[in-house]
Chain A
């Protein structure tokens, strides 16, 4: 077995050794450290440790290393910059320990140093990357807030002209004598206005939800729900006159809901069924009461919803595969799920080659 030579081990260890007096003067250092610094060891002995520390290192030494050492006797992994004889900085990691006598008096400070050039570069890179990511997140958040506010304002500003158009169309169809062609045009205008209004309503709901307002409900169980749903279906028939929509509404008890919101929910579901359902197969709207719950289902035939779309179906702005002629914001189902949530209800979907069905379930009474 080879024998270790302690003196040689000290001088030529792979790390730097340095010992300081309690006053911070260099008492001894090993050859390794002297070589790193570009000095002869004898030339530095007696000098203050500050002479071989960068400015930041000196402050770190006086305000962190020394106080911690006094209190704990031991400090690990302090990062320092040494000052080489040519003025360049050498990043190191330091462990330090105090040697004390039997009465606890401070005799020496012993510091072991490891070069940390690569480690420091890596850490610096991590810090830079983290700072950049942080800045990007903050910028993104700000942009997102502005966008939401813009949407809210836009939606709001669009409502008035749309309301005026709707009123005008109503007045014309009721009070004015129109030619057959004129009546047709008015009917289509009404349908378009309904669609546009629904879009704007969805926009506003989205913005309100995202900006933290949440979906407000005005519950009213006194209003019968069947006529409300019939109205929705007749509006949809006006929009898509060559499609078949079949209803089966059996609502024998009062439903403690916001009728306007339920209308919006139904409208979005039916619009969705019309958009994605096969044209030849009727859309079915069914409402019934079962076991203390109100159930509303909207079904269509055609290509089933692909499994990968299922997970995102109720996310805002999700549009799935759409034909170019079908424009939309992808908000309809998101609003549906928000309305369901607000009523403490659920919205479920099943979809296969035969049938795609959305089922809205809510408790009859808000308990």
Chain B
């Protein structure tokens, strides 16, 4: 069992009757949730983890076949949930993790009673009568870009960090593996993410759900957030002032407040 916790570099902190699991999306690792997750440690058990292929997860555990759909990632979450004995826990998922968490909650009823979706999208590519925000050629262009930028990407993913004089408290958190992602795996994760279609799963979500939507987000535009809200029975919707795709980083206070009000 503990091998699952090692595989996904699971970190458990905090104290409380209920557990909150924070899940990162494409492009980063669990460190992107630090600022927000920390705020809940005094009254919740807080769980952070890395998807396989990101951060300090076990790269050897990456299996192309398994992770070619979001269900593979959802299965890992269910395994983590079993390893930690989770019941009626809260799942906070950023970006593609919102759908991964939804799939996990459907696969393991009772494990997650509440879902917070930050910048979710059930399908990125436009379809007949549906605006995902991306065209297929654009997604192909993205995948080509990721292929071509292996060398540059990995340099960005493992930078040599100098101290930041403007923000000394960040220094302690900085390590060479910050937001590290294996470039080949990142490309596959992008493929899985941007070619996914989980619109039909929305109506099967039984958990109590909050959708947090940024005012301007090119990856999960407001129309998509509204679509998600409309198709999840009984869900709540909040439009954040924040812009960009990562409000947990650019506006942590606003995101924390929104989650607190919900739980």
A residues apposed to B, CB below 8 Å: 22-24, 48, 50, 54-60, 62-68, 70-79, 81, 93, 98-100, 104, 106, 120, 123-124, 126-127
A178 to B240, CA, bound (A): 105
Q: Looking at the complex, which one of B153, B159, B246 makes contact with A67 (CB distance below 8 Å)?
A: B246
Task: Kindly state the separation between the CA atoms of A127 and B184 in the bound complex, as whole angstroms.
Answer: 12
The listed residue (B25, B27, B148) touching A123 by CB distance below 8 A is B148
A126 to chain B, nearest CB (A): 7
Which residues of chain B are near A104, meaning CB under 8 Å?
166-167
Establish whether residues A60 and B149, one from each chain, have CB atoms under 8 Å apart when the complex forms.
Answer: yes
Verify A63–B152 contact, CB threshold 8 A.
Answer: no
Minimum Cβ distance to chain A for residue B134 (Å): 8
In the complex, 21 of the A-B residue pairs with CB atoms within 8 angstroms, ordered by the A residue number, are A54-B141, A56-B144, A62-B217, A62-B219, A63-B26, A63-B219, A71-B173, A71-B174, A71-B178, A71-B249, A72-B161, A72-B178, A73-B164, A74-B159, A76-B159, A77-B152, A77-B159, A78-B153, A78-B155, A81-B145, A127-B151
Given contacts A22-B250, A104-B166, contact A59 B142 (CB under 8 A): yes
**Which residues of B approach A to under 8 Å, CB–CB?**
25-28, 31-32, 95, 138, 141-142, 144-153, 155-157, 159-162, 164, 166-167, 170, 173-174, 178-179, 216-219, 243-246, 249-250
Given A72-B159, A73-B166, is A24 in contact with B243 using a C-beta cutoff of 8 Å?
A: yes
A100 touches which of B148, B152, B166 (Cβ 8 Å): B166
- Contact between B219 and A59 (Cβ–Cβ < 8 Å)? yes
Query: In the complex, which of the residues A58, A76, A100 contacts B155, with contact meaning CB atoms closer than 8 Å?
Result: A76
B246 engages A57 (CB within 8 Å): no
Asked if residues A62 and B245 are in contact (CB atoms below 8 Å), the reply is yes
- A106–B150 Cα gap in the complex (Å)? 29
User: Contacts A59-B219, A70-B249; is A79 near B153 (CB within 8 Å)?
Assistant: yes
* CA–CA, A275 and B263, complex, Å: 87
The residue in chain A whose Cβ has the minimal distance to the Cβ of B245 is A62
Residue pair B243, A66 in contact (C-beta under 8 Å): no
- B152 contacts A123, CB within 8 Å? yes
Q: Given the complex, which residues of A lie within 8 Å of B243, measured CB to CB?
A: 23-24
- Once the chains bind, are B218 and A62 in contact (CB under 8 Å)? yes
Identify B218's interface contact among A50, A126, A127, CB under 8 A: A50
Given A22-B250, A127-B148, 19 more A-B residue pairs with CB atoms under 8 Å apart are A59-B218, A62-B217, A63-B25, A64-B27, A64-B157, A67-B32, A68-B179, A70-B250, A72-B164, A72-B174, A74-B162, A76-B159, A77-B152, A77-B155, A78-B152, A78-B155, A79-B148, A123-B148, A127-B151
Assess A56 versus B145: contact at CB under 8 Å? Given A24-B243, A71-B179, A78-B152. yes
B142 A56 Cβ-Cβ under 8 A: yes
Residue pair A100, B167 in contact (C-beta under 8 Å): yes
Does B149 contact A79, Cβ atoms closer than 8 Å?
yes
- Distance in Å: Cβ of B140 to nearest Cβ of chain A: 10
Question: How many residue pairs between the two chains, A and B, have CB atoms under 8 Å in the bound complex?
Answer: 131
Smallest CB gap from A124: residue in B: B148
Chain B residues with CB under 8 A of A127: 147-148, 150-151
Smallest Cβ-Cβ distance to A131: which chain B residue: B147
Q: Indicate if the CB atoms of A73 and B167 lie closer than 8 Å.
A: yes
In the assembled complex, which residues on chain A have CB atoms less than 8 Å from the CB atom of B161?
72, 74
Nearest CB in chain A: distance from B21 CB, A: 20
Tell me the nearest residue of chain B to A106, going by C-beta: B250
Q: How far is the CA of A346 from the CA of B179 in the complex (A)?
A: 53
- A residues in contact with B141, CB < 8 Å: 54-56
Once the chains bind, are B244 and A62 in contact (CB under 8 Å)? yes
* Residues of chain B with a CB closer than 8 A to A76's CB: 155-156, 159-160
Give CA–CA (A79, B150) in the complex, Å. Answer: 9
CA distance A74 to B145 in the complex (A): 22
| Cβ–Cβ contact A62 & B246, under 8 A | yes
Contact A93 B28 (CB under 8 A): no
Interface centre among B32, B152, B178 (most CB of A within 10 A): B152
Closest-CB distance, A20 to chain B (whole angstroms)? 11
A56–B170 CB distance below 8 A = no
Give the CA-CA distance A76 to B218 in the complex, in Å. Answer: 24
Q: Which residues of A contact B151 (CB under 8 A)?
A: 79, 123, 126-127
Q: Which residue of chain A is the closest to B149 with respect to CB atoms? A: A79
Q: Which residues of A contact B219 (CB under 8 A)?
A: 59, 62-63
Bound Cα distance A93, B216 (Å): 26
Contact A93 B152 (CB under 8 A): yes
| B28 and A75 within 8 A (CB) | no
Evaluate contact between B148 and A77: CB separation under 8 angstroms: no
Q: Which residues of B are found within 8 Å of A62, using beta-carbon distances?
A: 27, 217-219, 244-246
In the complex, residue of chain A having the shortest beta-carbon distance to the beta carbon of B250? A70
Contact B179–A55 (Cβ < 8 Å):
no
Minimal Cβ-Cβ distance residue in A for B252? A70
Contacts of A70 in B (CB 8 A): 246, 249-250
Verify A77–B142 contact, CB threshold 8 A. no
**Residues in B neighbouring A73, C-beta threshold 8 A:** 164, 166-167, 170
Contact present for A57 and B145 (CB under 8 Å): yes
CA distance A75 to B155 in the complex (A): 10
A63 B146 Cβ-Cβ under 8 A: no
A74–B179 alpha-carbon span in the complex (Å): 13
| Contacting residues, chain A, for B244 (C-beta < 8 A) | 23-24, 62, 66
Q: For A60, list chain B residues within 8 Å (CB).
A: 145, 149
Q: Do A78 and B156 contact each other (CB < 8 Å), given the known contacts A62-B244, A71-B178?
A: yes
Task: Give the chain B neighbours of A100 by CB distance below 8 A.
Answer: 166-167
Q: Which of B145, B174, B216, B249 contacts A54 (CB 8 A)?
A: B145
Q: Which residues of B contact A22 (CB under 8 A)?
A: 250
